[in-house]
Amino acid sequence: KSAQRDFLPAPYNDFIFAIIAEEYGLFGAMSLILIFTLILIRGVVFIARNAEDHLGSMLAVACTLMIVL
């Protein structure tokens, strides 16, 4: 049980990561970072390297970075 819940004064105006970290704690925040890291690795390492041409590789990297960042 958390000592202080609903600390963010304006959750509708704050970043979603801060709300997830407040609601789910360190486990939820680290899980979200791990998920985004796995998406980044899959997009850059597996999809971009296995693309048939340079345009496909750059497109895979660009789409992956748009999702992750």
Give percent of the chain above pLDDT 90: 61
Dist. CA 2–CA 41, nearest whole Å: 34
pLDDT at 63 over 80: yes
Cα angle 32, 20, 41 (rounded to 5 degrees) comes to: 15
pLDDT at 28 over 80: yes
What is the average pLDDT across 48-58?
93
Tokens standing for residue 65? 């970075």
The closest alpha carbon to 43, from 10, 66, 17, belongs to 66
**Measured CA distances, 6 to 29, 36, 62, 64 (Å):** 16, 25, 36, 33
